[in-house]
Structure 1
Amino acid sequence: MKSGTSLDLAGHDHKSVIGWPTHGGPNQQWEFVPSGQGYIIRSAAATSEYGLYLTVKQSISDGAELDVCEFPMSWRAQHDEHNDALRILWSNTEYALCLADNGNMAPGTKAELRSLTPGDPSQMWRFAKCASTTEDQERAARAVAQPFATETVIVAEGQDCTTITRTMTTTTVETVTTVTRIAHARHG
């Protein structure tokens, strides 16, 4: 919440997430898409057909660097009414998004996770509305028309039946799970 610094997809590699003086370009625009109890956070500067999503570079821990990948990850937003700001937390943890070195505002400071500290201004963020472009609208329409999908199938053989669980997840944040139970024929 230190003014003048935005979360920025670094121009030099289009992967690193850093703090940079606010200029409002697409690499500083992030879309929060509802996903279950939280959000996936997609960069407006995506060079990939499927989008680039905010994630953690390695393991979830204090000081874990942030970057982007092509697979949506879940985050949650926690409103701080006193400061009229948001904390952005890794889903199901108490790790908050912030800039390294206690919110250092120097251009290029890496974005990272830190243990949630109530009242810490370096863990508070504000949204600024961005103008939607025709390109943004076309990209969103493509994502809905041609969603990137992953499918997981689990087959469990039992004595009396076989259970098949099929889960399909798409970038449009739709998950469909189908469970089929097939009874075995009894001989006798």
Structure 2
Amino acid sequence: MVNLQPGAKYKFVNAKANNVADLSGGDNKSIIGYSDHNGANQTWEALPGGNGWIFKNVATGQYLGINGLARDGTPVEGIHPPFEWHVKNDEGHPDTVRLFVPNTLFNMDLSDNGNATAGTKIQVWNKWTPGVNQCWRLVQGTWALAFCV
């Protein structure tokens, strides 16, 4: 059962590649799979929506979402305004969740069948089974921003 806490901060860890959903520092827009470096750009605040959850990036204040219609290959991006996701446990992997575009079977997917290479795009794709590259572990924690002077 999904047990998100309003205001809590999470990392999305891909169940197949074991990398995290990262708001790219290259363009401050693309959401990519990247190794975990505990960065604020990899940290998402959970906010309750009307019928789901909104995820706000701690580094930029952008929201995890899509622009336009959901279809296979639509990129997940850092966007404004807030975007609501339906978060559901995966039947085959009970310690993971899938993030669905509301009222669709399109869910967040680490592309190229879960390619672990840093920079692999995260997109939405129609749910498929087993689809481990579409399953995510939500790791709650507190991460500090580190600044170099």
TM normalised by structure 1 equals 0.64
Question: Rg bigger for which structure?
Answer: 1
Name 2:5's counterpart in structure 1: none
Query: Kindly, what percent of the aligned residue pairs are identical?
Result: 34
1-structure distance, mates of 2:62, 2:107: 20
1-structure distance, mates of 2:18, 2:133: 13
Name 1:120's counterpart in structure 2: 131
Among 99, 108, 132, the residue aligned to 1:97 = 108
Name 2:26's counterpart in structure 1: 12
Aligned partner of residue 97 in structure 1, secondary structure: strand
Name 1:61's counterpart in structure 2: 71
Deviations 1:19-46 (A, max 9, x none): 0011111111112211121111111111
Number of aligned residue pairs: give it.
130
- Letter in structure 2 aligned against 1:52: Q
Following superposition, the deviation at residue 91 of structure 1 comes to 1.1
Deviations 1:144-177 (A, max 9, x none): xxxxxxxxxxxxxxxxxxxxxxxxxxxxxxxxxx
Mark the runs of 5 or more structure 2 residues left unpaired by the alignment.
1-14
Mark the runs of 5 or more structure 1 residues left unpaired by the alignment.
135-188
Aligned partner of residue 101 in structure 1, secondary structure: helix
2-structure distance, mates of 1:101, 1:38: 27
Following superposition, the deviation at residue 57 of structure 1 comes to 3.7
Whether the 8 Å contact between 1:98 and 1:114 is mirrored in structure 2 is yes
Asked which structure has the greater RCO (Cα within 8 Å, sep 6+), the reply is: 2
Name 2:12's counterpart in structure 1: none
Name 2:89's counterpart in structure 1: 79
Aligned partner of residue 142 in structure 2, secondary structure: coil
TM normalised by structure 2 equals 0.80
Higher fraction of helix? 1
Q: In angstroms, what is the RMSD of aligned CA positions?
A: 1.7
Following superposition, the deviation at residue 70 of structure 1 comes to 2.2
Following superposition, the deviation at residue 58 of structure 1 comes to 3.9
Following superposition, the deviation at residue 59 of structure 1 comes to 2.8
- Letter in structure 1 aligned against 2:121: K
- In the alignment, does 2:49 pair up with 1:35? yes
Name 1:150's counterpart in structure 2: none
